[in-house]
Amino acid sequence: MGIDTANIPEQICLLKHRISRQCPDLEERFREIESRVSEDIRKIEEFKEQGKCAIPEITFTEIAENSVNKKTIETVKRHGAVIVRNVFSPEQVKDWFLELNRYLDQNGYYEQDDPGLDNYFSDLKADKPQICAVYWSKPQIQARQSSELAQVRTFLNSLWIYQNNGRLHFHPDRECTYADRVRMRMPGDTSLGLSPHVDGGSVERWLGGNYQQVYSSLFGSNWQDYDPFNGAFRTEVEGIDSPAVCRAFRTWQGWTALTSQGAGDGTLQLIPTTMGIAYILLRPFLQDVPEEVLCGAVEGRAQAITEEWHSLLLRGLVTIPKVEPGDTVWWHPDVVHAVEHEHQGCDVSSVMYIGSAPLCERNTRYLDRQKQPFLDGRSAPDFAPEDFEKNFPDRATIDDLSQLGKMQMGFDQWD
Ligand SMILES: [Fe+2]
């Protein structure tokens, strides 16, 4: 796995020549995709005009009772995003939030030196939301290993094709803990947001062999055959090493709200259409794009979505509907997202980043690299090695892991 980073512009030119030969109808194909994506964008705009949000919502009870209806599932798949409400009780989340604040304050988190932030997002217009680089507080551990999130993630993973052609791509009902950080964004913060982007690399989506397989139908006989939820080849896609690039396989990115937040509170924005990626992938093949340019893709950086190349998509950028403590937000790994540039609200906007990384070989390898950092209180392996929690006496230890938590962390076998 890997991409030769020595001659990327040359590789891009070669790829463009190859694809142009393979698909003489690229322009027409792009126009068809554009019109399909336009339908989604129009729908998103219609909701917005009515003061509503196109992102579908379900409740935790519906998942627990297995009563989410088919139409809702179709909507979730089309938008590649969903709010799952009331996963945790407000009391539980209040306790976690207070405990997390106490953990940060009493251990002097905010008094530490600026560690020199990673540069993964540095080409995006704004740099960095207020994210605290703690991975091992007890509230984070408890939320990650909760039975509630296990149920939600099993449901969401099952929307994917997780086995086909005699191969199990991942176990939808077995989670691997991908330890991530927390957001504690203070009211009045005007400097820290994230411009629209897609994670999971940028040039890799065109140049990586497994990524090419993932998107092969977009360049094959019928682009309509492309299924954003087909797990084949996804667990082994290529990545160019860079700080803050996720090396695990995630079916969904996501977070759990610790405080109320909605439009204006410095929170998440999405362009909720799973076909947006098809538009992004074909856009560089149009005549107005220089040969070595992949429209917002720079090696080692997130895929940027820009007015210059993706103005249609940007019309569909919406802030998530207001969420309350204990609600969770999920989006497909190819879905464009951003963080509002300003926090104009009155209260801290806080989340725990907990997505879904189901059990597969790739994620098992990641767990192997994550175990020792957990035991030592160091930063999780995908992130800058700030290691703030090494000397936090009250961080979680292996004794805080439940049976489920031990399996999710790779300390115990599932069977
Ligand atoms: Fe992101």
The Å distance, Cα 125 to ligand 1 centre, comes to 14
| 321 Cα–ligand 1 center, Å | 18
Task: Give the whole-number percent of the chain exceeding pLDDT 90.
Answer: 85
Ligand 1: centre distance to CA 338 (Å): 7
Q: How far is the CA of 374 from the centre of ligand 1 (A)?
A: 23
- Residue 291 Cα to ligand 1 middle (Å): 27
User: What spacing in Å lies between the alpha carbon of 403 and ligand 1's midpoint?
Assistant: 31
| DSSP structure class, residue 284 | G
23 CA → ligand 1 middle, Å: 31
Residue 54 and residue 47 in contact, taking contact as beta carbons nearer than 8 Å:
yes
Cα angle 289, 293, 297; round to 5: 125
Ligand 1 centre distance from Cα of residue 393 (Å): 31
Query: For residues 349 and 362, what is the distance between their CA atoms, to the nearest angstrom?
Result: 33
Q: How far is the CA of 178 from the centre of ligand 1 (A)?
A: 15
Checking if the pLDDT of 314 tops 80, the result is yes
DSSP string, 87-119: SS-HHHHHHHHHHHHHHHHHTTGGGSPP-----
Average pLDDT, the chain: 93
Q: Give CA–CA dist 176/158, Å, rounded.
A: 15
> From the CA of 198, how far away is ligand 1's center (Å)?
6
Decide if 157 contacts 221 (C-beta within 8 A). no
Q: How far is the CA of 81 from the centre of ligand 1 (A)?
A: 14
Q: Separation of 171 CA from ligand 1 center, angstroms?
A: 24
At residue 192 the predicted structure's pLDDT band, cuts being 50, 70 and 90, is low
Give the residue among 193, 206, 195 at the shortest CA–CA distance from 297.
Answer: 206
Which residue in this structure is represented by tokens 């989006």? 331
Domains annotated for the chain, with CATH where assigned, are 55-200+211-275+315-408 (2.60.120.330)
Q: How far is the CA of 221 from the centre of ligand 1 (A)?
A: 32
* pLDDT for residue 126 is more than 50: no
Q: How confident is the model at residue 3 (pLDDT cuts 50, 70, 90)?
A: confident
Is pLDDT larger for residue 185 or for residue 392? 392
Q: Confidence class of residue 128 from pLDDT cuts 50, 70 and 90? A: very low
**What average pLDDT score do residues 216-229 get?**
95
Residue 52 DSSP SS3: coil
Kindly state the average pLDDT of the residues 318-325.
97
Stated pTM of the model: 0.95
**CA angle at residue 335 from 330 to 337, to 5 degrees?**
80
User: Rounded to the nearest whole angstrom, what is the distance from the C-alpha of residue 155 to the centroid of ligand 1?
Assistant: 22
Phi, psi torsion values for 154, nearest 5 degrees? -60, -45
What spacing in Å lies between the alpha carbon of 401 and ligand 1's midpoint? 28
* 3-state class (DSSP) for residue 225: helix
Q: How many angstroms separate the alpha carbon of residue 22 from the centre of ligand 1?
A: 32
DSSP type of residue 399 = G
Distance between Cα 197 and ligand 1 center (Å):
6
Ligand 1 centre to CA of 165 (Å) is: 31
Q: How far is the CA of 199 from the centre of ligand 1 (A)?
A: 5
Query: Helix (H, G, I), strand (E, B), or coil: what is residue 352?
Result: strand
Q: Which of 103-112, 167-176, 273-282 has the lowest mean pLDDT?
A: 103-112
Task: Out of 7-11, 189-193, 221-225, 234-238, pick the least confident.
Answer: 189-193
H-helix or E-strand spanning residue 62: helix 60-64
b/e per residue 239-249 (b: at least 16 CB within 10 A): bbebebbbebb
Ligand 1 centroid from CA 337, angstroms: 6
